[in-house]
A and B are shown apart, each in its own frame.
Chain A
Amino acid sequence: MTVGFIVFVVWLFDAATGSDAYAMFLGAMDTTAGCVLLVGWSYAFFYHLSNGIRHLIWDTGRGLEIGQATASAWFVIVTSIVLTAAFWWVAS
């Protein structure tokens, strides 16, 4: 997540620097490795978001039984895959 944050700042900073710096950033992202990383960061974001909400629910004292925790773990995995797919479906 923190590496994704660094790339987000580089995107902003390159845009503020000028068209040449921005073109270099786009060039780096428009590679196979860049695309794999972007898809990876989008999944990491939606997983972190879903699991963060799971932790907030745990903080209220709910869902801490082993069966419930296992069920919510699977729910988080499926939800983050669906959200990632929806994100790229809207984007394309």
Chain B
Amino acid sequence: MVCHRDIYCVDCGVLVGGVMSLRSPLGRVLGLGTAKDGTAHWWGQRVSGGAMAVLGLWFAWALATMPGFSYAEAIAFIGQPVNALLLLLLSVTMAYHSFLGIQVVIEDYVHGHGLKIASLVLSRFAHIILAVAAVFAILKLGIGA
């Protein structure tokens, strides 16, 4: 067995021994640090959470005071311009807030690197599909097809 570990000078970082590599010391470390988007994620989660508190309470109130849930009553409710606008905001905000939350769960609890990446991509696709489906349904009923 041959050790393939390279040896670098501790003072200047120049390769002084081991297997020669064409990659520079800088090239080896680029991309291995933090992505530096943690603060944006933290703020996104809190601001979308604040928006969800308002929109979610509106929707809870709207559901509780709805006269009924028959087909006619449902499409009449969704088709009202103010309701349609608030439902659009609710759907997009909820998809974003849910995506950020699920992302944290995946990053913390899915341990295999490949499985983690696959789960993150799958979650992103699923949330985009849900948001687009909701927007399409609201616009169809709001504009009146």
Binding site for B on A (CB under 8 A): 1-2, 5-6, 8-9, 11-13, 15-16, 19, 22-23, 26, 42, 45-46, 49, 52-53, 56, 59, 87-88, 90-91
Would you call A12 and B78 a contact (CB within 8 A)? yes
The minimal Cβ–Cβ distance linking B120 to chain A, given in whole angstroms, is 14
Q: How many residues of B contact A (CB 8 A)?
A: 32
Q: Contact at B60–A12, with CB atoms within 8 Å?
A: no
Instruction: Give B contacts to A, CB under 8 Å.
Output: 46, 49-50, 52-53, 56-57, 60-61, 63-65, 69, 71, 74-75, 78, 87, 91, 94-95, 98, 101-102, 130, 133-134, 136-138, 140-141
CA distance A49 to B133 in the complex (A): 25
Task: Assess the B134–A9 pair: CB atoms within 8 A.
Answer: yes
Are B134 and A12 in contact, with the CB atoms below 8 A? yes
Contact A45 B56 (CB under 8 A): yes
Q: Contact check, B98 vs A26: say whether CB atoms are below 8 A apart.
A: no
Decide if B49 touches A2 in the complex (CB within 8 Å): no
User: Would you give 15 A-B contacts (Cβ < 8 Å), ordered by A?
Assistant: A1-B101, A5-B130, A6-B130, A9-B134, A12-B87, A12-B134, A12-B137, A12-B138, A15-B74, A15-B75, A16-B136, A16-B137, A22-B71, A49-B53, A90-B64
Query: A53–B136 Cα gap in the complex (Å)?
Result: 31
